[in-house]
Structures are given as structure tokens and as C-alpha cells.
Structure 1
């Protein structure tokens, strides 16, 4: 069986505040490089602060040491046909309403054959009551054998309280 694989960033998954008045480059993402691991009895070897979501199909997640962009680890998704969807999701990251944020990460892929959305990245802004208030997103070239930077910006709604970053494969068999 063929498979689609996306390996998502090492140490460089970040969201920063992009202010017009001054250049701010502070990474707001906890454990951005997937370097901090849970003890096996606490989380079965999962990475601290990140969760996984399977939209549909057969999807395998792992933290691997095979050729990370920087640091020692990177996140891995192996999505098997037909039309699988799997995502890595950050914990809630506090934001300020009305501010513009920059999402940046490094990705590389193998054998991704997008039939729909392919590689997807989004900022899911939410209010204090957890209701959605905007989700700027982008897609990326699914044929990146070498590490490639993906970045885009999004402005938090005036009443936004936090954001979750979502990265993964959508409807893309291999």
C-alpha cells in the first residue's frame, strides 16, 4: 500500500506577533520543536503540549529523529489512502484581539498525492467561550522533498482570546 507522509517542523513551528509599530519576533508556541517528550507512563511517548486529530482514514503520528530541520526531533504524519486527514494541533495560545500574527513552520514531504487540499496549515482563533472567530489558513506544495518554510499571517478578531495552530494532511492519499 502506498502512503502519504508529511514531516512537520523541528524547532521552528512558531506564531509571532507582527506589529506595525515595531518588529516583534517572540515565539508563542510551547514546545515548538517537539523536543520535550512526556514520560512513557504519562503520555505513551507523546510530545508535550501537542495533540493529534484524525479527521478520517488511517493516520499514524510520531515524533521522529530522522533528519530533523534543526534540533533532534520533528513531528511525523503517515496518512494512508483513501483520502485520509490527520493533524498536529497546538494547545491554546493566548492572543490579543485585533493583533496580526505570523505563522511559520518548516515542512518536508514524501509520496504525498493530493486529490483535494493536501498540506494544510491554519490559525484557529477562538473566543473565551471556545466559539470560533476566524481561521486564516493556507496550503503548501505537497512535493517538497527538502525542508521548505511555510508562512502566512492572520489577524485575530477583536474578541479573540486564544488560537490553536493546526498542521497536517487533508484528503491526500499516497
Structure 2
């Protein structure tokens, strides 16, 4: 079989040329359609890109933070089809047709989302780095019906780490937005 391929190449005048080390490799791209914060987007992306990288690098939505880039801190939490996901571990190509909501998509004009307002009222942040992920996770926690007590909120929000330890304010904000206070 190899001889047949070689003679076919020779007959066509084609010769195999090894890639030069100076020749840049072009990564294959894939077309992805997403609805991000209510806007339809169609992008050509590297299939290895995470949702986080597409949001930050391609769509300039930098509210979603890259913390650990290993799915352990929750700073990159966004909603995909209404469910919270760690966007650093989620391949964008796998979300073709999905609806993604980021922290930038919560407020309606100048009116903050009730949980954003509750974070301010209850001092649910200090340095603010984890705040977008905390708020997105809190929105999902409430929507999932997991905000009936401070203990339940703590359990269901345990995937979101706050290095400043603003947990009492975070839990109070989620409880307030859920109508528990």
C-alpha cells in the first residue's frame, strides 16, 4: 500500500516536504453559536478554548474572573442554560447553541439585579475578585431552591471560595435576595 501511495505522489509530481520549524502551525477553528447575555453571537474559535477564555478574550466580557483555572475556586462561575458552571473547565465548542449569562448580563440598564443590590447592602465583598462568581452562583442557588437557610446556602455555595472570608455577608446577601430576611 505504501508503494502505491509513493508512486501516486511521484506520478502527480507532488513531493512530501517536511514542515519547517519556522512555519507557524495554524490551529483548526470551529464555528460556535452562542447567546450571551441575550445577544446572539457566532464565533470561529479554537476548539480547545474554554467558555471563560472565549468570554474574556473574544467577547471582552471581563467580569468573569480567571482564578485558579482548575475549577476549584468558582471565580469563573457563569450560567449556561440557567445552570451554574465553572467556565474555566467548560469547552466553548461543547456549548454550541447555549444561552450564557455572565455578571454583565444581570443588571437591567441602571437597575441592579436584586442579588447585586443585596451584596452591596450586606457587604458581601471585600476585594471583589470572587464577587462575580459568587453572585452568579448565588443567583443559581436561589433559582434551584437551595436558599432556605444559611446552612443550606453555605452548602450549595461551597464551590465558591472567597480569599477575604466575606462569607457572612455573602450568605446574608443570598438569603436577603431569596426573601429569607
TM range (shorter): under 0.3
Specify which structure has the bigger relative contact order, considering alpha-carbon pairs within 8 angstroms and separated by 6 or more residues. 1
Counting helix residues as a fraction of each chain, which structure ranks higher?
A: 2
* Structure with the greater alpha carbon radius of gyration: 2
**TM-score (normalised: structure 2):** 0.24
